[in-house]
Structure 1
Amino acid sequence: MNNSYGLETHPLRDALYAELHSRPFQVLPSPARVSCLAVIIGPEQKQAEFEHFCSLYSYFNCEPPGQDGVCFEIDFGHFKIRRDNHLEFTSYMVTHTNVDASLGLFEQNALACLPLEWLSSLPGKTIAVFHVAVEDARTVPEPDLALVKSHFEGMRLVGSRPQNGDAQVWTSFQLHSDGCGRFLIYNKNMSDSQLGRMVQRVVEIETYRLMAMLALPMARKYNAELVQNDEKLARTTASLADPSEASDEQALLSELIDMAAWVEAARAKSAFRFSGTRAYHDLIVKRLAELKEDEVSGHLTITEFMTRRLTPAVRTCNTADKHLESLSTRIDRVSDMMRTQVEMSIQSQNQQLLTSMDRRSKIQLAMQHTVEGLSVAAISYYSVGLLKFLIEAVYDKGVNFDKSLVIGLSVPVVVGGVWFATRKIHKRFLLLAKAREDKDKQM
């Protein structure tokens, strides 16, 4: 209970309230210099990156945080630094407001406020590094285009008037001689809070743009290989569909297994990257809408540039992703068709085998009956021979009867008895076999 009403609160309530304020917008005066870094951090580097960030506090005699968090904003006096933790990367935004007007717009940047040895040992792979120069244009006329272009080393410019003309933004979306990107923002009629929110949107657009395009080389690579696998699958399907062509089922099955293995490996490698591209692109679209841009005559706006350059790249990634899914589905269908064909072939072979076994069983039954007839004759022969000895023994003892007649009459009796006993035994075995079969069926 932690309220004046004595109510029992949910253990996550405070965290849920804090989550909405975990990434606050900055308040940015003009003029100012902002430098941004985005560093891709692997799971195994998370702790090392946080410890490295904590080491920055020791350079300025400050107390580091006890544990990692979503967002940190620290004011070191002559500059501020903001660190944001994202799923794949960590971003740093360094802000310097003590601007020397005698220096060029990009000759002085906020990264110079950080120790060089700290920057050079930052864990991870840097995906984005760019500078934002913010100038105050509320009391001066609109800057000359030639002067603006000189700040970007003569590169083609993209420019717009965001927030319904309250600011002017220029960029080239290219790397310059210092290896960094550049943004030039003129504040014409914005408060510090409005300017801070707009600058953060621009920073996020540039960072998310680069993260979204990470999947493009992968998509191009897979698109080329997908065409080859499409053709191979088409040939396999055609050979299965042509009854006149004798197909090597083992070879076809091996090809299908190889294709299926390649597709699943490609999907495993690309699924996260392609889904990330879609997520970053959605964020970019939202940030562009929030800019509320007006056109600068003769120049593409940031929204127009992104629509023309970034959107096709995202569509290429989406196409590769859908193509992989489609190819996987078609391979499954062909595999099912081949399995059905193999099963039908096996059933045909089994039917032929059963027919052959049935034929052999009939032959064996006929032979068995023949053998039984011979067995009856043989047993009867030996039985009559034994009976003859008995009759002769009785005759020799003085019993008077026709010995030959008795022996002759005993033959049909013995044969009939042997035949009856054999049939009885045969029926007994049949009944035992049937009883065992009924028992097996019940189980």
Structure 2
Amino acid sequence: MEKPLNPYGLNMHPMRESLYNELHSRPFQVIPSPARITHLAVMCDAEESQQQFEHLKELYHHFGVTPPVEDELCYHSDFDKLRMRREKHMEFTTYTFINTDIEQGGNPFEVTGLTPLPKGWLESLPGTVMSAFHLSVDDARQTNELNLPLVKRFFEGMRLVGSSPQDGDARVWTTFQTHGDGFGRFLIYNKQMSDSQLGRLAQRILEIEVYRLMCLLSLPTAREINPTLGAMDQKLADVTYHLAHSKDIDEQELLSRLTDMAAWVEDCRARATFRFSATYAYHDLVIKRLEELREDEVSGHLTITEFMTRRLTPAVKTCRATSNRLEDLSRRIDRVAEMMRTRVELSIQSQNQELLASMDQRSKVQLMMQHTVEGLSVAAISYYTIGLLKYLLEALYNSGIELNKDLIMGISVPVVIGLVAFTTRKIHKRFLKMAIDQVAKAESEKKVQK
């Protein structure tokens, strides 16, 4: 691999340049006053993301601008009086349209950032819109700020949330609700902020609105899980009580119930763990952006921070509590299942001991029978051996050899019986030694394996 060129001849890491660029990939925008901004957050998968990029090229062609060749994390494009910014995030893609071709006065939401877009382009945008709202910026440095009843009319009479962020350099109004066009609305009066400062304020407000909706995405899941979670908790308590206080227990039936509960918990964790983790991350981002607003209170109205703290934080706590209950229930099921397995193992060991005792008793009986059979075998073998010896003596006697057959037969009886008994005992001891050696070898192999 070739070394990157530098005047010092140093071997630079191949990712160094991209890591530098990452910190500058999403810069704050410079927003003039007045301006009309529309922000969309569109959830999409990999296929829809590629379709969005192809759809974005159509917008470039419409305004006579050369479209980008490769899909990047962040695009900034100027189409005369319309500025467009597209950002790719992990779960969604955001589009910000800034329309500067406006005149201040009248309804600030009559002209929006979507007004200059070609007809039909927005309707064909792939993906599912999660957040959509208009942000209107008016210049209050040269004209007086509008009175409150008129501002409320711009928000269709809904209850207002307002504050003076950046230590009173601006005034922000919103309702955190959707209006007649299906979009949310924010109104900023710029009192003494520069275009760069206004861009940073607008960016924080855009992120707060998007992240708070993404943060709440797990709340329906938590509400769905909670009722069944309580029922499962009670079932586990019943199983534990039965296990602790009942002597007559059907281990198979209890293990089956525990398995069903464990399967349900793991299914919930598989569906909810990522969503809950994302909720905590989005919530941290919202809190961070709220701190950066440095809000002053507007008399009689909740500030954005107070509204979020009062409404968003309990929802996050609900998700966290649900996640903790799932984890706790999973651990408790594992412990009860472990106790059940231990109980079953002890029962099996007890049965094995009874079986071994029974086998030992049968082995003793078999050994006694074997000794009895050995005694009969000695007698039978001695009998046939003496019979063969008798034939031999008669043959010798008939051949002319003088023998006392009766005396020899009498003497041979105890001798033959003793030899047969000695030989049988010898064979028995040999097999017994082989069995003992095999047992000792097996125990030695077990110790080595441990």
Common fold, TM-score beyond 0.5?
A: yes
Deviation per CA, 1:200-259: give whole Å up to 9, x if none.
111110011111000000011111111111011111111111143x12111111111111
Distance apart, 1:401 and its partner CA: 4.3
SS at match of 1:63: coil
Which residue pairs with 2:409 in the alignment? 407
Which residue pairs with 2:288 in the alignment? 286
Deviation per CA, 1:38-93: give whole Å up to 9, x if none.
00011232222222122211111111112121211110002101111111000011
SS at match of 2:301: coil
C-alpha separation between the residues in 2 aligned to 1:22 and 1:401?
A: 125
Counterpart AA for 2:149 = A
Counterpart AA for 1:283 = L
Which residue pairs with 1:375 in the alignment? 377
SS at match of 1:116: coil
Counterpart AA for 1:318 = R
C-alpha separation between the residues in 2 aligned to 1:442 and 1:316?
A: 58
Which residue pairs with 2:123 in the alignment? 120
Identity fraction in percent: 60
C-alpha separation between the residues in 1 aligned to 2:357 and 2:444?
A: 27
Counterpart AA for 2:331 = T
Q: What TM-score results when the alignment is normalised by the length of structure 1?
A: 0.96
Matched, 1:76 2:105: no
Distance apart, 1:13 and its partner CA: 2.2
Which residue pairs with 1:258 in the alignment? 260
Change (3 A) 1:437 1:250: closer
Contact in 1 for aligned 2:29/2:200 (Cα 8 Å): yes
**Count of residue correspondences:** 442
Counterpart AA for 2:81 = H
C-alpha separation between the residues in 1 aligned to 2:89 and 2:236?
A: 41
Gaps spanning 5+ residues in structure 2: where? 446-450
Comparing 400-409 and 286-295, the one that deviates more: 400-409
Q: What TM-score results when the alignment is normalised by the length of structure 2?
A: 0.95
Change (3 A) 1:414 1:5: closer
Contact in 1 for aligned 2:217/2:275 (Cα 8 Å): yes
Matched, 1:202 2:205: yes
Matched, 1:346 2:348: yes
Which residue pairs with 2:30 in the alignment? 27
C-alpha separation between the residues in 1 aligned to 2:84 and 2:218?
A: 30
Matched, 1:316 2:318: yes
Distance apart, 1:315 and its partner CA: 0.7
Gaps spanning 5+ residues in structure 1: where? none
Which residue pairs with 2:102 in the alignment? 99
Distance apart, 1:438 and its partner CA: 4.2
C-alpha separation between the residues in 1 aligned to 2:284 and 2:433?
A: 78
SS at match of 1:256: helix
Contact in 1 for aligned 2:276/2:320 (Cα 8 Å): yes
RMSD: 1.5
Matched, 1:182 2:188: no
Query: Structure 2 residue aligned with 1:192, among 177, 190, 195?
Result: 195
Counterpart AA for 2:128 = K
C-alpha separation between the residues in 2 aligned to 1:254 and 1:46?
A: 44
Comparing 271-280 and 48-57, the one that deviates more: 48-57
